[in-house]
Amino acid sequence: MRLVKNIRTIGIPQIGDGIHDVILGSGKVSQFDGGTADSSFEQVIDGRELVLSPGFIDMHSHSDLYRFRKGTNGLALGDFPKLTQGCTFQVMGQDGYSAAPVRRDDKSDYSQFISGLDGSLPPDEWKWESFGDYMTANSGIPGTRTAHLVGHSTIRRHAAGMDNRLLTSRELDEMKHLLRESLISGAVGMSTGLVYAPASYSNAAELYELATVLAEFDSVMFVHLRSESNRVLEAFEEVADACDEAGCRLHISHIKTAGADNWHLTPALINSISRYVNERNLRITADLHPYVAGSTMASVFLPGWFQDGDIEETLRRLRDPASIEKARVQILNDVDSWDNWWRFSSGWPGIRFTECQDKSLIGIPLDELIKSRGFEDIHSYEAFEWFFSVLANSRMQASIISFNNTESNISEFLKLPFISLCTDGLINPHGRPHPRTYGSFPRLFSRFVRELGVIEMEQAVRVCAVNGRSVIRDTEFNDFVIFDPRAINDTATFDSPTDLSTGIIYEYINNQWIDIPHIGSDNS
C-alpha cells in the first residue's frame, strides 16, 4: 500500500476532483482518512504539484502481435512505448484486422498480411485459432490492460478469402456467426477499415447485417471511414445509417478531414455527427491522435482491384507494366471511387517509408528518393514502377507516414465532448515509427493544453483517460497514472521517433506499481 499526499485528482469517480491524500493498493484507490500512521505504508509520496488520474487509454492501438514479442528490457514490444507515456490500457484489433479468428491453414499468410500494421509471428508461435483462445493467450502477458475488437476484414477473409465481390448469403451468415462467437468470447466490439481489403469490398447492406449482431450485445462498431478526404461526409453517413438502423453504437477511428482540399469540411462533419446524435439518438464517439501526419500500411496506395485475390496475385501486379500504368493513372486522377491517400498526402513529398525491406529508404520524403534515382518527373511511369518495386521486394510488409492534417482541425475535434485519444502508432521495431507511437498522450498536454490552450487540463485528462472507458464499458477504474502537469512533454520527433516522453512519474496497473523514469530506455 502506498500513500500519496496532497495530490490533485482528476477523473476518479471513487474520490472526485480536488486535492486529496490517497491510498493506492490492493487493486484500488481510496481517500486517506488519517487513521493510519504514515510509517505503516510501503511508501509515502509527496503529491504536491502532481496529478493522479485514471491511466491513459490508447483507443486505437496496433500492438496486437507485438505483445507476444519481448524487447531486451523484458517488456513486450507492444507495451513499452505506451507505458512510458502514461498509457495503461490499449484497445486492439483495429482497422478491420484482428489476430483472431484465423484458419489453421492461413496463419502464415495472414501473419504476413497484417504485419505492416500489427506485427507478425512465426506459425509455431501463433497458438490460437478462435477468438476465445486468443483472449486466453493475451491474458497471461504482463503489462498494460487490454481490450480487443474482432476485425471485419479478418472474419471476411475467414469466410470468403480476399475476393473483390459481394458475399453470398452463406458467407455472410458465416461472418455473422464468427462475429457473434467472438463477442461471446470477450470482444468488446467489431472494427472495420473500409479503405483496406477485403473490408473495402463490402457494401452498406453487409455493414448493416454485421451491425445487427453488434446490436444484440449493445456493442460498438469502430470504423475507419471509407473516405477521410473529399467524400468524408458520405462515408460517415454510410456507417451512421447502418448503425442507426441496426441499433448499435458507432465509434469513429482517428477522426479527421484529410488533405488540404478537404480541411474546410470539418465543420460540416461535426454538424452531421450532431444531427445523428440529437435527431436520431445515435450513440456516437470518436478518437484522434494529436499529429498532422498519419501512418499506415503502404498497401493503402493501391486501388482495390490491385489487391483482389491472394498476396501472390498482388505481388504479380506490382511487377506487371500494364497493372502499374493502370494504377498510376488512377492514383494521379481518381479521387471519387476510393480514398486516394496519395492525393490527400499531397503526393510523394508528403509520404515517407517507416518500414520496408530496404532500410536505407526509411524516413526520407519519397519525392527525394525518386529524384535521387534519376527520375526527374516524379509522376512518370518509372517513378511509380520504382515505388511498386519497393512494395514487391518487401512482400507488402511496408508502412508509411502521410502528412495530411492541420492542428486547427485537430483542435476542433478535440472540443467534442465524446472525443478520446489514441496513438494509432505502428510499432516498427526495426524501422522508424511515427512519433505518435511514443508521444501522443504527453503531446496533448504539452502542445494542446500548455502551448495552444485549446482545452484545459481537466478536459485533457478526460480525453486521455475517461471518455474511452464508456466506449469499451470499462467501469473498474483500477489503473492509474501520476504525472507532473508542468513537465509532461513529448520528445519524440519524426527524425528521432523513439525518444521517450517526460513527466510521467508512476503508473499503477493490475496491482503493480511501476516507476516510469526507471522502466528502462532500451527499446530495441
pLDDT in tens, 205-253: 999 999 999 999 999 999 999 999 999 999 999 999 999 999 999 999 9
Q: Could you count the other beta carbons within 10 Å of the beta carbon of residue 386? A: 16
Count the residues in the chain: 524
Does pLDDT of 196 surpass 60? Answer: yes
pLDDT computed for residue 522 by the predictor:
47
Q: Tell me the pLDDT band of 268, cut-offs 50, 70 and 90.
A: very high
Same domain, 140 and 280: yes
pLDDT computed for residue 523 by the predictor:
42
Residue 19 lies in a domain: no
Q: Point out the domain boundary residue: 368, 403, 438.
A: 403
Residue 42 lies in a domain: no
Residue 340 lies in a domain: yes
Strand partners of residue 149: 189
Helices (H), 28-85: 80-83
- Of the ranges 85-94, 107-116, 195-204, which one carries the lowest mean pLDDT score? 107-116
Same domain, 472 and 431: yes
Residue 451 lies in a domain: yes
Does pLDDT of 426 surpass 90? Answer: yes
In three-state secondary structure terms, 394 is coil
CATH of residue 257: 3.20.20.140
Residue 28 lies in a domain: no
Same domain, 330 and 437: no
Q: Point out the domain boundary residue: 383, 403, 423.
A: 403
pLDDT computed for residue 496 by the predictor:
95
Does pLDDT of 521 surpass 70? Answer: no
- Of the ranges 20-29, 157-166, 235-244, 327-336, which one carries the lowest mean pLDDT score? 20-29
Tell me the C-alpha distance between 412 and 414, whole Å: 5
Residue 35 lies in a domain: no
Q: What is the mean pLDDT of the segment spanning 499-510? A: 95
What is the domain count for the chain?
Answer: 2
Strand partners of residue 3: 23, 44
pLDDT computed for residue 222 by the predictor:
99
pLDDT computed for residue 34 by the predictor:
83
DSSP structure class, residue 362: B
pLDDT computed for residue 245 by the predictor:
99
pLDDT computed for residue 520 by the predictor:
56
Same domain, 275 and 136: yes
Same domain, 320 and 194: no
Same domain, 325 and 398: yes
Q: Point out the domain boundary residue: 434, 460, 476.
A: 476
Which range marks the domain in which residue 256 is found? 61-292+405-476
Same domain, 285 and 384: no
Residue 436 lies in a domain: yes
Q: Tell me the pLDDT band of 74, cut-offs 50, 70 and 90.
A: confident
Same domain, 204 and 236: yes
Percent of the chain at pLDDT exceeding 70: 99
Q: Is the dihedral of CA 125, 128, 134, 139 positive or negative?
A: negative
Tell me the C-alpha distance between 387 and 365, whole Å: 12
pLDDT computed for residue 146 by the predictor:
96
**Cis peptide leading into 101, omega within 30 of 0?**
yes
pLDDT computed for residue 118 by the predictor:
93
Residue 163 lies in a domain: yes
Q: Among 296, 275, 293, which Cα is nearest to 284's?
A: 275
Same domain, 233 and 198: yes
Mean pLDDT for the chain overall: 95
Same domain, 396 and 412: no
Does pLDDT of 407 surpass 70? Answer: yes
pTM for the complete prediction? Answer: 0.95
Element (H, E) at 148: strand 145-151
Buried/exposed code over 250-273 (b: 16+ C-beta within 10 A; e: otherwise) = bbbbbbbbbbeebbebbeebbebb
Q: Among 478, 453, 428, 155, which Cα is nearest to 296's?
A: 428
Same domain, 229 and 92: yes
Q: What is the mean pLDDT of the segment spanning 145-157? A: 98
pLDDT of 314-356, one tens digit each?
999 999 999 999 999 999 999 988 999 999 999 999 999 999 9
Buried/exposed code over 441-461 (b: 16+ C-beta within 10 A; e: otherwise) = bbbbbbbbbeeeebbeebbbb
Tell me the C-alpha distance between 425 and 418, whole Å: 21
pLDDT computed for residue 168 by the predictor:
98
Q: Tell me the pLDDT band of 524, cut-offs 50, 70 and 90.
A: very low
Q: What is the mean pLDDT of the segment spanning 162-169? A: 96
Same domain, 233 and 255: yes
pLDDT of 349-402, one tens digit each?
999 999 999 999 999 999 999 999 999 999 999 999 999 999 999 999 999 999
